[in-house]
Amino acid sequence: MLAYGVSDTEYVIITAQPEFLQPAVIEMQSLCRELTVAEELAPGIALCAVPRLRELLRQAMEKTPIFVRHLAPAQAIVELSGAIEEDCARLALSLAALPEFAWLGPGQYFAVQARLVPSQAQQPARPLAYTSGQLNQKLAKVISEETGAIESIRKPQIVLSLALTAERGFVGISLAEENLSSWPGGERHFARLPEQISRSEMKLLEALEVFHLTLPSDGEALDLGAAPGGWTRLLLQAGLHVVAVDPAALAPALSG
């Protein structure tokens, strides 16, 4: 258990855009009046104390919060050394000690979602000697070998959440839907393709995914404020005829 006070208190990590963290906390307090912020781990990331963690996660699933981007249970805290072999072993043992670890078994799809959290301290923190991706890969292999569960990054049933500062690792296990987002911290990542014109393309791709929308394969589209042309490219790729309007120039790749 986390060493923040009473034994019957549980903890959850709330993630939001930094400027919307306070509204996100208020939003969660509307679901649980007893929720309090134990520590702000980084801009947009708060560790909160709650009396009944699973009940809060279920309520959040039903209400679909506006400002909260991601929820993750923080059921234990692990002191980190900064070395991947040692930290992986400590984190694996901590996860295995949680009651929810019994959910993992042959045929169960799971994902390890480690997220590196920048330090709030005035002095620069000792950096970890590994990336979140390296830890995900190593820890997932250990879990899979131990339980027979199958790693599934895109569509996990069970999520092993880790929020890592330079000194501490907060760990928890939940069902994928309890986290609101199946991506670490609620941040959806798309592969950057050579033909990509701008990062704004990812906003359209994410909107289509979140709202379960499909672009029509023919018809006309009006792209207002189109420059440099990322959305125009995706609309054209879908098969639409696009009228792109912007005083600024579009990317040369669209001229053909």
Residue 131, in any domain of the structure: yes
End-to-end CA distance of the chain, in Å? Answer: 60
Claim: this prediction has a pTM higher than 0.95 = no
Q: Which of 102-106, 120-124, 170-174, 220-224 comes out lowest in average pLDDT?
A: 120-124
Could you tell me if 112 and 205 lie in one domain? no
82 within 8 A of 127, measured Cβ to Cβ: yes
Residues in a beta bridge with 50: 10
Residue 1, in any domain of the structure: no
Containing structural domain, residue 122:
10-186
Residue 191, in any domain of the structure: no
Could you tell me if 182 and 204 lie in one domain? no
How many domains does the chain fold into? 2
Could you tell me if 20 and 128 lie in one domain? yes
Residue 194, in any domain of the structure: no
- Res 1: pLDDT: 46
pLDDT per residue as tens digits for the range 19-44: 999 999 999 999 999 999 999 999 99
d(CA 136, CA 185): 14
Could you tell me if 123 and 57 lie in one domain? yes
pLDDT above 60 for 211: yes
Residue 67, C-beta contacts closer than 8 angstroms, at least 6 positions apart: 16, 17, 20, 23, 24, 27
* Residue 76 identity (one-letter amino acid): A
Could you tell me if 181 and 216 lie in one domain? no
Residue 82, in any domain of the structure: yes
22 within 8 A of 68, measured Cβ to Cβ: no
Could you tell me if 148 and 89 lie in one domain? yes
CA angle, 69 then 73 then 77, to 5°: 125
Residues in a beta bridge with 114: 162
pLDDT above 70 for 189: no
- Res 124: pLDDT: 47
DSSP letter string, 151-215: E-SSS-SEEEEEEE-SSEEEEEEEEGGGGSSSSGGG----PPPTT---THHHHHHHHHHHTT---
* Sign of the Cα pseudo-torsion (171, 140, 173, 23, in order): positive
